[in-house]
Structure 1
Amino acid sequence: MKHFLIIGHKAVTSGDYSLNDMPGSAGRMDILCRCVSSAFFLSHDLRRDVQIHLLLLGEPHPGRYVRFEGEHVRYLSPDERSAGALIKKALQKDVSSFESRSTPGVNTRTATLKELLDEFLEKGCELVYLREDGDDLRSTADFAEDTVFILGDHVGVTEEEEKLILDAGARLLSIGPLSLHANHCITIIHNELDRRGGEKQ
């Protein structure tokens, strides 16, 4: 299973935003929606062995967590509006620290970054943190069966978040010398793993 954890620092945490203005009214929710699309969609199919984890830290309730499961997700199309609608529906649910389903394959609850990292480690996942000065992805050994690739949004990752990630033992990897959009990073990671002869989708 491949996992992608995206930290959305500005992404709103209420479900009253407009699908017609996700860059503005939703705190750059469009970035997270593009990540969802890049994580799952092939030309004529969907990657089933992928989960994408969205940690939303915007107002009014910072610390909302939305998880998409490729194996079970329904009603998802490649466009940003489709993913935005599913996230919006998830944010309209009253939640606690216990995960609940909003639509098939989309689950939500409250969470902090540390809680998510601890949970991944408890499940035996390998943590990989993408940064320009990390080891070259193309020259690294194979990854664990369950690997979590951690990315920031358009503002990157804060020093405090980076410390949590590195203290959790994340491997530091680079996909190139330049800073890329998070959804482009996901596409490159998929391509590299596909070229290595990854599992059939």
Structure 2
Amino acid sequence: MRRFAIIGHRAVTDPGFSLNDMPGSAGRMDVLCRCVNASFFLSHDLRRDVECYLILKDGIETTILFKGETVRSLNPDERSAGALIKKALAKTCGSEFVESSPGVFIRRGGLDRLLSEFSFVILDESGADIRGMDILPENLLLSDHQNFTEAEEELIAPLPRVSVGPLVLHADHTITVYQNEVDRRGV
């Protein structure tokens, strides 16, 4: 199972955001929607061996999980992913994941909890190039359009860092390049 976790620094946890204004009223939820799409979509198919965790930080820290093996109603456009996120945020939840729609889950809690559950590698342009690695990591953590905060950097300081290339890319593009490398290796 390959896992991507993306921190949404300004992503709202209030389901009242407009699908017509995800970059504004939803706190750049559009970035997270593109990451969901990059994690799963192939031409006319989905990657079933992927999980995508969205850590929403604007409000009560919340994690939304998309599971490729069971997700339904996800189409390759931002509004589709946004609608599933909006539905998840409207669901009452606690500290354990609850399903809001097929393959989409929500719980309270964020990065520190996720780091206690899985060993992540940070996708960072200053990390070791994945093309020089014999074995690619399976659990990857990256930030949205903003850098990790000081508090987040403290949490992730001991984690290894890998890169998909020498330039800074958008989060969703980084996922796409990483997926392509996995595909090329036939992993």
Same fold (TM over 0.5): yes
Q: Unpaired runs of 5+ in structure 2? A: none
SS at match of 1:75: coil
Q: Runs of 5+ in structure 1 lacking a partner?
A: 122-126
After superposition, where does 1:161-200 map in structure 2 within 5 Å? 161-167=152-158, 170-198=159-187
Query: Are 1:5 and 2:5 matched, yes or no?
Result: yes
Report the counterpart of residue 150 of structure 1 in structure 2.
141
RMSD across aligned positions (CA): 1.0
In 2, the alpha carbon distance for the partners of 1:66 and 1:119 equals: 15
Cα distance in 2, alignment partners of residues 9 and 133 from structure 1: 21
Structure 1 residue 65: Cα displacement:
0.6
Q: State the match for 2:67 in structure 1.
A: 69
What residue in structure 2 maps to residue 129 of structure 1? 122
Q: Matched residues, percent identical?
A: 55
Q: Deviation of residue 177 (structure 1)? A: 1.6
Q: Which of the residues 76, 79, 86 maps onto 1:78?
A: 76
Q: Give the SS at the match of 1:10.
A: strand
Q: CA deviation at 1:112?
A: 2.5
The answer as to whether partners of 2:136 and 2:182 remain within 8 angstroms in 1 is no
Number of matched residues? 187
Partners of 2:24 and 2:18 in 1: how far apart? 9
Question: Equivalents in 2 of 1:158, 1:36: separation in Å?
Answer: 22
Question: Normalising by the residue count of structure 2, what TM-score does the alignment of the two structures yield?
Answer: 0.97
Instruction: Give secondary structure in 2 for the equivalent of 1:89.
Output: helix
1:158 positional shift: 1.3
SS in 2 for 1:54: strand
Match of 2:151 in 1: 160
More strand by share: 2
Structure 1 position 178, deviation (Å): 1.4
> What's 2:132 paired with?
139
The runs of at least 4 aligned residues of structure 1 exceeding 2 Å deviation read none
CA distance in 1, matches of 2:3, 2:147: 18
